[in-house]
């Protein structure tokens, strides 16, 4: 039983990606498809962030250590969906036209902190392997506390972009 | 609500063909001086000026009276009653008047006017409106010399308009123009689109459209037009003065605080289509730039 659970978590985590691919190629995203993809990938980044963060509390609540073993997979999917989100914005929306992108990163707070969150995810993704955990020892835990900052950044960014943020 | 029989509605593809046919005759005669091959001229601009589909125009709307999601107006406006309807023109005028929709359609001839609609959110459509210049309607009253601005008030009817049950904006929706802007021939009273009666979700029975300003300036379902002395505070200025100015002219050089206005997405062009550059005054600069001579448009955004 146990040995099937981890692969299942992986397969389930790819479903949002398959859904968006299906919608793109069957033209099911409505009049503003690029915006839909941006929102979709941004939202799933947030969902995976929450899932990743809930594994330790679940372990404590249920007294089952198995939860923590899904954390790496879920965490890497945070990076995966955040990267898709970034690529949608930079590639699909702005066609790697750097001038307006740089303008946005500097001027728009929500893009700045969203981008910062993605940058902070990189070291976490690189050091996610078992080897790295051993190599970094106590520092690994310290480094991976960055996830809290990333979550705060991502949520603030989303909060700011919500249309009626002035209410 | 008038119901159209299917047979009365011109299919969109035939509508477009008919238009291009009329255009080809019209252009052939009138544009000889500009170009010997009118179609060559036409094709260079054709991608930009391609009409947005009737479906997208009527299912993708910002009309908060019917809900804040863009698909809400289509869904929630189906039973909205537009008859009887009366528009009152009042304020700083010698003799205020009230006109019913029937009177308005008898007094003014609607013509087809194809204009680009640029939403402040960064997308655009090209819409074949039916309408006439607002100046024709306003000429029915004599403004006093105190009148400097024109205020537009949309209908307030929370029983029929779900969105008005929530304080999303300070209902009724309110917009305004300077008198010279209101009298400009491009400022249009809209009564229809694609040769049909104006759909409820697009502002039936009567709305205005100001092609060189962001879409929200073009108030829908208007019941009151008021000449006033002082600059009105529009609903959006009231909601967020930092984000929405009184003028709200389309201007690629002045960014919205939360997003760039340099480019726009063309609705209906699909996922692989690139953004296009936003033009100053939405491309109507030749006609309207002189209204703002000497004004700092960064300050008066």
Instruction: Decide if B93 is inside a domain.
Output: yes
Q: Which residues 54-83 on chain A approach chain B with CB closer than 8 angstroms? A: none
Contacts of B271 in chain A (CB under 8 A): 24, 27, 29, 33-34, 37, 92
CB contact under 8 Å between A27 and B270, yes or no, is yes
Q: Give the pLDDT band of residue B14 (cuts 50, 70, 90).
A: low
Q: What is the DSSP letter of B93?
A: B
Nearest one of B236, B178, B173, B167 to B203, comparing CA atoms: B173
Instruction: Decide if B24 is inside a domain.
Output: no
Contacts of B124 in chain A (CB under 8 A): none
The helix (run of H) or strand (run of E) holding residue B103 is helix B101-107
| Count of structural domains within chain B | 1
Domain chopping of chain A, boundaries: 2-161
User: Is A2:A66 a contact under the CB 8 Å cutoff?
Assistant: yes
Full residue range of the structural domain in which residue B152 is found: 50-292
Instruction: Decide if B2 is inside a domain.
Output: no
Instruction: Decide if B27 is inside a domain.
Output: no
- Report residue B265 as tokens: 């997405």
Express each pLDDT in B237-253 by its tens digit: 999 898 999 999 999 99
Instruction: Decide if B226 is inside a domain.
Output: yes
Q: d(Cα B206, Cα B192) in Å, to the nearest integer?
A: 8
Query: CATH code at B287?
Result: 3.90.420.10
Express each pLDDT in A93-126 by its tens digit: 999 988 888 877 877 788 889 999 999 999 999 9
Residues in Cβ contact with B221 at an 8 Å cutoff, skipping those fewer than 6 apart: B65, B82, B154, B155, B203, B204, B205, B206, B207
Return the residue of A nearest to B268 by Cα: A31
Instruction: Decide if B11 is inside a domain.
Output: no
Contacts of A100 in chain B (CB under 8 A): 260, 262-263
Q: d(Cα B188, Cα B186) in Å, to the nearest integer?
A: 6
Q: d(Cα B78, Cα B80) in Å, to the nearest integer?
A: 6
Instruction: Decide if B56 is inside a domain.
Output: yes
The predicted model scores a pTM of 0.82
Average pLDDT value for residue range A46-75: 93
Asked if the interface predicted TM-score (ipTM) of this complex is over 0.85, the answer is no
- Give one DSSP letter per residue of B29-59, joined into a string: HHSTTT-S-HHHHHHHHHHHHPPPPHHHHHH
């Amino acid at each position: 039983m146990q040995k099937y659970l981890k692969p299942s978590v992986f397969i389930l985590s790819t479903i949002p990606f398959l859904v968006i691919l299906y919608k793109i190629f069957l033209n099911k995203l409505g009049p503003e498809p690029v915006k839909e993809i941006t929102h979709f990938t941004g939202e799933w980044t947030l969902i995976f962030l929450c899932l990743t963060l809930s594994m330790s509390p679940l372990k404590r609540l249920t007294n089952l250590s198995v939860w923590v073993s899904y954390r790496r997979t879920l965490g890497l999917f945070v990076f995966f969906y955040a990267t898709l989100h970034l690529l949608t914005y930079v590639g699909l929306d702005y066609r790697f036209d750097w001038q307006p992108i740089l303008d946005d990163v500097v001027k728009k707070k929500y893009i700045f902190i969203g981008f910062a969150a993605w940058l902070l995810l990189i070291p976490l993704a690189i050091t996610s392997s078992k080897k790295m955990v051993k190599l970094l020892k106590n520092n690994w835990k310290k480094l991976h506390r960055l996830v809290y900052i990333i979550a705060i950044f991502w949520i603030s960014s989303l909060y700011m972009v919500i249309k009626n943020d002035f209410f | 609500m008038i119901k159209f029989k299917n047979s009365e509605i011109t299919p969109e593809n035939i509508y477009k063909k008919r238009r291009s046919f009329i255009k080809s005759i019209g252009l052939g005669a009138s544009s000889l001086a500009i170009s010997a091959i009118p179609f060559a001229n036409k094709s260079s601009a054709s991608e930009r000026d391609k009409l947005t589909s009737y479906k997208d125009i009527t299912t993708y709307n910002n009309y908060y009276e019917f809900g804040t999601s863009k698909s809400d107006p289509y869904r929630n406006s189906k039973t909205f009653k537009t008859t009887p309807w009366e528009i009152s023109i009042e304020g700083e005028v010698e003799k205020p008047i009230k006109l019913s929709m029937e009177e308005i359609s008898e007094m003014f001839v609607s013509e087809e006017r194809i204009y680009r609609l640029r939403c402040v959110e960064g997308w655009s459509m090209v819409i074949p409106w039916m309408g006439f210049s607002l100046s024709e309607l306003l000429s029915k009253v004599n403004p006093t010399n105190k009148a400097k601005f024109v205020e537009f008030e949309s209908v307030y009817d929370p029983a029929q308009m779900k969105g008005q049950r929530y304080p999303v904006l300070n209902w009724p929706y309110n917009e305004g123009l300077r008198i010279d802007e209101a009298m400009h021939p491009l400022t249009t009273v809209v009564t229809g689109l694609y040769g049909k009666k104006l759909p409820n979700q697009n502002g039936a029975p009567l709305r205005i459209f100001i092609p060189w300003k962001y879409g929200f300036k073009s108030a829908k379902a208007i019941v009151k037009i008021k000449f006033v002395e002082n600059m009105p505070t529009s609903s959006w200025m009231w909601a967020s003065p930092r984000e929405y100015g009184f003028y709200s002219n389309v201007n690629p050089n002045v960014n919205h605080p939360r997003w760039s206005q340099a480019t726009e997405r063309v609705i209906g062009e699909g996922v692989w289509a690139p953004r296009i550059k936003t033009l100053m005054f939405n491309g109507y600069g030749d006609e309207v730039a002189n209204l703002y001579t000497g004004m700092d448009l960064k300050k008066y955004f």
